[in-house]
């Protein structure tokens, strides 16, 4: 892994101190202070990165509110990236909920009010003729990863317009903190195509384009101009689509996945971490994935993306496609999705249950979830509905009657939208359920036994995928690469390894987990022939060479 090195820079004085990628604050040496015109611009005492990290943690800890801690970390990142990532790396489990879910949700909601300074690119629809110029304004010629959003479906909070920029910034922070991606090679982007959030449009402080969202052909033409400009500026970049509304998410993924190296984290990343969790639970219970019966509550792009990944995995496990689809039941606001429903989205049609299968159940759109659970007898229950409290005691106890060790996954974010809290699920199942949530939760104590709660967080997956793609010089993200990532994640699961603990590894081990996932993804890319193939260096050496760690360089 990379460590301290000597580099030559061409910035001086206050300009150097204003560059977060180069700034070392009080850690500049005497020689550097002389050479780069810093004498008197800094306090006399010269400190180490360790010294600075201790002070930064004291400052972080002095804030009581999570949003204030988020603001502090964002300001630190904008001043000194190396110190920021050292601090986050030292306290990752504590700071992950602050830089990402659930606190990032509040940060996006209040983005215009807490805005301090520019980071990344805002490409607004009225600037569509200037996209090439906007990208040229970025002085990073070697961008490896872009995370882009249009802010329409931020977590479970809906349309937050330009405030959605908090998501790409947070995601790229995790690419670096968890997956070792050099922060100098990352770029967050927001496509500002307006907002239909009337509260934002009425807010004089809203920093985005005050206009209703652009739709239809105008929208897709704008995205096309953006993608074409990115491909011209950075032809080898990994482009991650993030928090697009379901009406656009899947069409954009299908349109571009064979044109450039890209993926949609809400559809594919969520699917991979969920599949990895299912693999882990099956190993722990010593059962086969092919034998599971799964209910999804929430049949949007995320839920259907997970379901399609499971269908593919069940086929690998020996089922036919029809048999696999017959074991998955999707529920949306109109009830159980069946093939006689009118006007259902294309991505739901292949997952609709035949009416002949469920006709005798006499279900209606108003049928209770527990009634559907009684008929399906699921072994796995997954929530991506954004409806708080939907997995009530009746639902969970009904499931538990038919499955002694159910896997329950309330994945909706932020915490205020979760389908059920882990303490209730474990109480209603006498501690026998396996639980994975979208947001972080403390262990649950029942009668003296502590039950760790796995956070089914995409941060387990996308940093490792990104590192693997960069190391292998892959030019596509294939389904098999994603499947390899899910298997690698499950191999790291404590409960899969020993039968005890959480279904996913601790975030304390996330860098090792990311390296393992990256190796699996890169190896699969090589086997599929979607790499440039110019580098003969052994794969593990390439992964370690690309893994950036927060350490100051010596400026010569």
Please report the pLDDT score of residue 6 as a whole number: 80
Identify the residue with better confidence: 440 or 103.
103
- Res. 79: pLDDT tops 60: yes
In the residue annotation, 552 being an active-site residue is answered as: no
On whether both 290 and 233 belong to a single domain, the answer is no
Helix (H, G, I), strand (E, B) or coil at 206: coil
Instruction: Determine the average pLDDT of the residues in 529-535.
Output: 79
* Alpha helix stretches (DSSP H) within 62-206: 66-79, 81-90, 92-99, 103-109, 111-114, 131-136, 166-179, 198-201
Considering only CA atoms, which of 444, 442, 409, 405 is closest in space to residue 424? 444
Same-domain status, 212 and 277: no
The domain that holds 76 is classified in CATH as: 3.40.50.10380
DSSP state letter for 442: P
Taking only the tens place, the pLDDT of each residue in 478-510 is: 999 999 999 999 999 998 888 888 999 999 999
Same domain for 480 and 435 = no
- Asked if residues 314 and 289 have their Cβ atoms less than 8 Å apart, the reply is yes
In a shared domain, residues 286 and 236: no
Q: Is the dihedral of CA 358, 361, 362, 366 positive or negative?
A: negative
Question: Which residue segment(s) compose the domain that 346 sits in?
Answer: 268-457
Mark whether 58 and 122 lie in a shared domain: yes
Give the pLDDT confidence score for residue 2 in this predicted structure: 44
Is 266 part of any known ligand binding site? yes
| The one catalytic residue among 24, 36, 171, 256 | 171
Active site residue 171: yes
- Give me 258's structure tokens: 């064979």
CA within 13 Å, CB half, 421: 8
458 annotated ligand-binding residue: no
The residues with which 434 forms a beta bridge, in sequence order, are: 407
**424-440: b (≥16 Cβ within 10 Å) or e:** bbbebbeeebbbbbbbb
Q: Residue 130: inside a domain, yes or no?
A: yes
User: Does pLDDT of 518 surpass 50?
Assistant: yes
- Give the end of a domain, one of 234, 260, 286: 260
Is residue 39 one of the residues assigned to a domain? no
Asked whether the predicted pLDDT for residue 45 surpasses 70, the reply is: yes
1 has pLDDT over 90: no
Domain assignment present for residue 12? The answer is no
User: Is residue 33 included in any domain, yes or no?
Assistant: no
Q: What angle do CA 434, 106, 510 make, to 5 degrees?
A: 45
Residue 264 marked ligand-binding: no
Domain edge (last residue) among 215, 234, 260: 260
User: Is 37 within a domain?
Assistant: no
In the predicted model, what is the mean pLDDT of residues 189-194? 98
Our count of domains for the chain comes to 3
**CA terminus-to-terminus distance, the chain:** 22
Same domain, 472 and 433: no
Q: 36, 100, 256, 279: which one is catalytic?
A: 100
Q: Report pLDDT digits (tens) over 151-164.
A: 999 988 999 999 99
Same domain, 450 and 467: no
* pLDDT reported for residue 534: 61
Task: Give bridge partners of residue 332 from the DSSP assignment.
Answer: 335
Residues 143 and 277 in one domain: no
Residues 413 and 515 in one domain: no
Dist CA 52 CA 408 (whole Å): 42
Structure tokens at 278: 């299912």
Question: Is residue 55 included in any domain, yes or no?
Answer: yes
The answer to whether residues 273 and 301 belong to one domain is yes
Q: Which of 457, 475, 510 is the last residue of a domain?
A: 457
Task: Let me know whether 417 and 470 are in one domain.
Answer: no
Write the CATH number for 385. Answer: 3.40.50.720
pTM above 0.75, yes or no: yes
Do 178 and 321 have their domain in common? no
153 in a known ligand binding site? yes
DSSP 3-state of 140: coil
């Amino acid at each position: 892994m990379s460590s301290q090195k000597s580099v030559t820079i061409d910035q001086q004085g206050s300009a150097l101190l204003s560059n977060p990628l180069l700034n070392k604050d009080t850690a500049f040496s005497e020689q550097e202070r002389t050479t780069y015109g810093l004498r008197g611009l800094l306090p006399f005492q010269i400190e180490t990165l360790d010294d600075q990290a201790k002070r930064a943690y004291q400052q972080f800890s002095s804030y009581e509110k999570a949003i204030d801690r988020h603001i502090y970390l964002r300001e630190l990142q904008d001043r000194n990236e190396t110190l920021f990532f050292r601090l986050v790396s030292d306290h990752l489990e504590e700071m992950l909920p602050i830089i990402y879910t659930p606190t990032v949700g509040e940060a996006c909601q209040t983005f215009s009010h807490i805005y301090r300074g520019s980071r990344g690119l805002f490409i607004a629809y009225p600037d569509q003729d200037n996209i090439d110029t906007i990208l040229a304004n970025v002085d990073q010629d070697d961008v490896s990863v872009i995370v882009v959003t249009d802010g329409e479906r931020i977590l479970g909070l809906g349309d937050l317009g330009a405030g959605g920029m908090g998501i790409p910034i947070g995601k790229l922070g995790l690419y670096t903190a968890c997956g070792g991606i050099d922060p100098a090679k990352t770029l967050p982007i927001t496509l500002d195509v307006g907002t239909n959030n009337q509260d934002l449009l009425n807010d004089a402080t809203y920093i985005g384009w005050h206009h209703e969202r652009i739709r239809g052909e105008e929208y897709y033409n704008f995205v096309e101009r953006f993608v074409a400009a990115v491909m011209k500026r950075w032809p080898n970049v990994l482009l991650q689509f993030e928090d697009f509304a379901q009406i656009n998410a899947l069409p954009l993924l299908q349109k571009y996945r064979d044109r450039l190296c890209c993926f949609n984290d809400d559809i594919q990343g969520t699917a991979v971490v969920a599949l990895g969790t299912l693999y882990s639970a099956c190993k722990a219970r010593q059962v086969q994935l092919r034998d599971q019966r799964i209910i999804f509550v929430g049949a949007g792009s995320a839920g259907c993306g997970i379901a399609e990944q499971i269908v593919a995995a069940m086929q690998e496990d020996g089922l036919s496609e029809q048999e696999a689809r017959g074991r998955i039941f999707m529920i949306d606001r109109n009830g159980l999705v069946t093939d006689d429903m009118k006007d259902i989205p294309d991505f739901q049609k292949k997952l609709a249950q035949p009416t002949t299968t469920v006709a005798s159940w006499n279900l209606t759109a108003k049928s209770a979830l527990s009634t559907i659970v009684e008929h399906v007898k699921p072994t796995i229950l997954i929530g991506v509905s954004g409806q708080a409290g939907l997995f009530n005691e009746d639902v969970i106890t009904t499931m538990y009657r038919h499955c002694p060790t159910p896997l329950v996954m309330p994945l909706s974010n932020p915490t205020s939208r979760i389908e059920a809290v882990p303490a209730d699920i474990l109480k209603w199942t006498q501690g026998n359920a396996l639980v994975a949530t979208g947001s972080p939760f403390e262990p649950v104590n029942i009668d003296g036994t502590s039950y760790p709660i796995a956070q089914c967080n995409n941060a387990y997956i996308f940093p490792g995928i990104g590192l693997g793609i960069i190391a292998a010089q892959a030019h596509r993200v294939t389904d098999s690469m994603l499947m390899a990532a899910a298997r690698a994640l499950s191999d790291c699961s404590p409960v899969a390894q020993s039968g005890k603990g959480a279904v996913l590894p601790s975030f304390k081990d996330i860098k090792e987990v990311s390296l393992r996932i990256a190796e699996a993804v890169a190896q699969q890319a090589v086997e599929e022939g979607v790499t440039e193939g110019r580098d003969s260096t052994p794969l593990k050496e390439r992964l370690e060479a690309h893994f950036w760690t927060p350490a100051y360089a010596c400026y010569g």
